[in-house]
Amino acid sequence: MTTIEKADDKISYEQFQHEWLTEIESDTLSPLAKGRRFATKLITQWLGITTHDDDFFVCDGPGDGGIDIAYLQRADSDIDAQSDDGVEGDTWYLIQSKYGTAFAGSDTLWSEGKKVIDTLKSNGLHLSTDSQQLLHKLKQFQQQASESDRIILVFATSDPLSKKDRETIGDLKLIGRKQLGSNFDVEEVSLKTIWEALEDNELVKLTVDVDGQFVEQSSGLLVGTVSLIHLFDFLKSYQFQTGNLDQLYEKNVRQFLGNRRKINKGIAATLSKNPEKFGLYNNGITIVVSNYSRTPENQTVKMNDPYVVNGCQTTRTIWQILDSKLNAGGTGSDDKLERWKESVSRGGVVTKIVRSDEAEIQNITRFTNSQNSVREQDFIALNSSFQNWAAAMAEDYKIYLEIQRGGIDARKAYEKQHPNQITYSDYVNAFDLIKVYGAGWLSVPGPAFSKNAPFLPKGSIFERITNRTETDLPFGARDLYAAYKIKCEADRIGFGRRVEHLSRRQTRFLFYHVIIQMLRNVLMLTPEIEPPVVECTLTDAVIKLTFPGAEKHFQILSNAAIALVDQYLTVGSPNSAHNEKSFSEIHNGDLNAFLKSEHLGTESHSPLFVQLLTMHNQGFAGIPMPMYEGNPTQREFVAQALTKGD
């Protein structure tokens, strides 16, 4: 089986950057368009999102108030339902794209950052229409935000910021919190953030100190206690050196969906009310390092390349609570805050520092988290199923299956540096295909549009996908390839917020559902195909329809499916989604919410859709095609490609 080249064939950051920027630096694009494309690509990779969602806003240009892109990352109730360790808040990311000549150092950060803060304080009278609508949402968000919710100003740059630039970011955070509240934050993200998260690339070597009382239990293992204040100082130092606190967790616990801002209620309550007792209630943290050294008095440990492999929730919540209280700004005094500072100075965290090589890190990560609710999504790049599927897609179909953000650009850069090695015919993200499969094969277009957690390892829909019945073959690369073919057809048709057809702006996942449902009906009505029609039957059918010579057969099916979607989304059509009872009574006329319903496509939720699907299936089975020999019906014509060779 073909293997994907690794360790000895790493690409440099410069090679990765050049490939990543290739499509951005087109001579035909204006500076505004380049900046928009740069920010869009960087932020979607960083957060693991797409631009299809209604929560993704592009508002750069005159009157944008300093906000080029905004994205609302909503709390995922499915994630909280699977985990007892934290509650995830909603987060608004406000993106400032600083690409090319748009970035001129600290002065640029200060002036543009202040512009965003001023916009959030203003009434929006001088903003563009799009920016006014966004500001209205942001102000409503601020009014009802909980302690877990955040507004984060993000500077998106090609290269990492300098230390002087990061000092400016710190000043902006203080100003923003003073004027907007403690849920305001400022971060940076660069191409190097994406490159460093790749499995085969090593992060920049760095040394970070932590003060504490440690005893060497065995060779390469320190066990001790670190005060809350000193642990917070360690986190601050790490962020200042790297510009990205998430990097502290990403070496082995790779977060497929990007950054999550979860806060553990129990930890937060202890930190707020009884911080001096923190060490009594918390299990502690484990930090893996490439090496460490201690000062003679054993008060300071210098850690080389530290990564937190157990205690993400603990350190994240400590960071969030202490940062909001100690870095809020203000020149006055607060007796309550002073009493809290005295208490927190007496709190500590049990800490293990482990010197380990790469071969041991994965085991340490898994074993130290074995009794915690760390979800498998955090290990997706290490998940054996995804690794096997990636290898099989490469071997069988010459398709690169991306299981890490930035992997596609890294692979393309590698191919340019190694022209004699395998070159892939196409590149596709693994999680995208899992969602295509769920929406189509498992008939869950609403959850596929609205949720992520159920489609990840250990999620309910992922378990349905991979744990098939005895009457079906195991899920594998062949199924992903079939989903890839359906995705390619949807890409050809065109879906998204800015497409011309209004009916196709939010219906990509509904299309996946419809085309597979219509194909299922064809299979059930074709005598030559033995029942039952199960998932692998559908997979075989999709692949047959995409064989050379079957293009016209597949196009007939696709045309029928998109015609149904267009009709269903057309206002005034008898079977329109807008006429569904649930559309008005349950979803209050909100099309986005309607299309994201977990019951979309069912008789109880959308009976008009079910009727329309039945009508189209009947027409598909009865409409003759006189231009073809024998005047077959559309169904019979599609079936010809499916039964050929049987």
Q: Confidence band (pLDDT; 50, 70, 90) for 3?
A: very low
Q: What is the pLDDT of residue 202?
A: 55
Whether pLDDT at 263 is above 70: no
**Burial of 262 per CB tally in 10 Å (0-12, 13-18, 19+):** buried
Bridge partners of 213, per DSSP, are 225
CA distances 283 to 144, 266, 310, 348, 576, Å, are: 33, 12, 10, 11, 55
Residue 623 has which token pair? 């409409």
Higher pLDDT, 557 or 624: 557
How long, in residues, is the chain? 646
User: Which residues touch 472 (CB under 8 Å, ≥6 apart)?
Assistant: 534, 535, 536
Residue 301 has which token pair? 């440990």
CA separation for the pair 359, 75 (Å, rounded) = 35
- Chain CA centroid to CA 269, Å: 29
With contact defined as beta carbons under 8 Å apart, do 38 and 216 qualify? no
Other residues' Cβ atoms within 10 Å of the Cβ of residue 437: 29
Q: What is the pLDDT of residue 377?
A: 40
Write out pLDDT tens, residues 370-410.
433 333 444 456 677 888 999 999 999 999 999 887 889 98
Bridge partners of 227, per DSSP, are 348
Whether pLDDT at 320 is above 50: yes
Helix (H, G, I), strand (E, B), or coil: what is residue 217?
strand
Quote the percentage of the chain above a pLDDT of 70: 87
**Burial of 98 per CB tally in 10 Å (0-12, 13-18, 19+):** buried
Q: Confidence band (pLDDT; 50, 70, 90) for 539?
A: very high
Query: How large is the average pLDDT for residues 37-65?
Result: 86
Whether pLDDT at 631 is above 50: yes
C-alpha dihedral sign at 501, 22, 486, 461: negative
Q: Confidence band (pLDDT; 50, 70, 90) for 53?
A: confident
Other residues' Cβ atoms within 10 Å of the Cβ of residue 417: 13
Q: What is the pLDDT of residue 384?
A: 79
Quote the percentage of the chain above a pLDDT of 90: 54
Write out pLDDT tens, residues 456-495.
888 899 999 999 876 778 999 999 999 999 999 999 999 9
DSSP state of 54: T
Mean of pLDDT over the chain: 85
Q: What is the pLDDT of residue 182?
A: 87
Q: What is the pLDDT of residue 330?
A: 66
b vs e for 454-489, b when ≥16 Cβ sit within 10 Å of the residue's Cβ?
A: bbbbebbbbebbeeeeeeeeebbbbbbbbbbbbbeb
The strand ranges marked E within 131-255 are: 150-157, 184-190, 207-211, 213-218, 221-227
Domain span(s) for CATH 3.40.1350 in the chain: 1-201
Query: How large is the average pLDDT for residues 90-94?
Result: 94
CA separation for the pair 619, 563 (Å, rounded) = 12
220: left (phi over 0), alpha (psi -120 to 50) or beta: left
Write out pLDDT tens, residues 116-163.
999 999 987 789 998 999 999 999 999 999 888 999 999 999 989 998
Sheet of 348-355: strand order equals 213-218, 221-227, 348-355, 285-289, 307-310
Q: What is the pLDDT of residue 597?
A: 96
Q: Which residue has the tokens 């048709």?
A: 493
Return the axis-axis angle of helices 265-273 and 312-326, rounded to nearest 10°: 40
Amino acid found at 586? I
Other residues' Cβ atoms within 10 Å of the Cβ of residue 202: 12
Q: Confidence band (pLDDT; 50, 70, 90) for 43?
A: very high
Which of 125, 126, 123, 131 shows the shortest CA–CA distance to 61? 131
Write out pLDDT tens, residues 556-611.
999 999 999 999 999 999 999 999 999 999 999 999 999 999 999 999 999 999 99
Write out pLDDT tens, residues 189-228.
999 888 877 755 555 578 999 999 998 888 789 999 999 9
Query: How large is the average pLDDT for residues 330-358?
Result: 85
Write out pLDDT tens, residues 405-463.
788 998 998 888 888 888 899 999 999 999 999 999 999 999 999 888 899 888 899 99
Choices 3.40.50, 1.25.40, 3.40.1350, 2.60.40: CATH for 1-201: 3.40.1350
